[in-house]
């Protein structure tokens, strides 16, 4: 079963707009990570937020974490066509020493 579930499953926006993706998870976590996957490629790490952090920034990325609601959001500001990809959240909260991934949000940025 998936620990994290992203919402929406698919998102289409125009270049320059902001994109927000949400992730909900089931069990308590130590940290939550976001990854990007371009079509047919491996995953690339974007950002890690620890359970004692509420917000983290990296360039045009902003991640929030609400452990009381077991949810996180990823905001991409001023999106570009190159941001077109699938975005996954991953958590460590399953008791195994491994990441558990959600099903992802497919983002399409129209030029």
Contacts to another protein by CB under 8 A: 1-2, 4, 30-31, 33, 35, 40-45, 48, 50, 88, 90, 92, 96-104
Asked if 61 and 49 touch (Cβ cutoff 8 Å), the reply is: no
Min dist. Cβ of residue 110 to another protein (A): 21
- Residue 76 or 93: the one with the smaller Cβ distance to another protein is 93
Q: Is the previous residue joined to 33 through a cis bond, with omega within 30 degrees of 0?
A: no
Min dist. Cβ of residue 41 to another protein (A): 6
Closest among 40, 43, 104 to 74, alpha carbons compared? 104
Closest among 8, 35, 27 to 89, alpha carbons compared? 35
C-alpha 2 chain-centroid distance? 14
- Residue 99 or 109: the one with the smaller Cβ distance to another protein is 99
Min dist. Cβ of residue 15 to another protein (A): 25
- Residue 1 or 68: the one with the smaller Cβ distance to another protein is 1
């Amino acid at each position: 079963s998936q620990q994290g579930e992203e919402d929406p499953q698919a998102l289409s926006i125009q270049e320059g707009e902001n994109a927000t993706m949400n992730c909900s998870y089931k069990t308590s976590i130590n940290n939550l990570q976001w990854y990007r996957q371009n079509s047919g490629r491996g995953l690339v790490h974007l950002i890690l937020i620890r359970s004692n952090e509420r917000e983290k920034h990296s360039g045009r990325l902003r991640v929030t974490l609400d452990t009381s609601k077991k949810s996180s959001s990823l905001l991409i500001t001023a999106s570009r066509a190159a941001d077109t990809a699938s975005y996954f959240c991953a958590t460590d909260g399953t008791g195994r020493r491994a990441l558990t991934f959600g099903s992802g949000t497919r983002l399409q940025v129209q030029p």
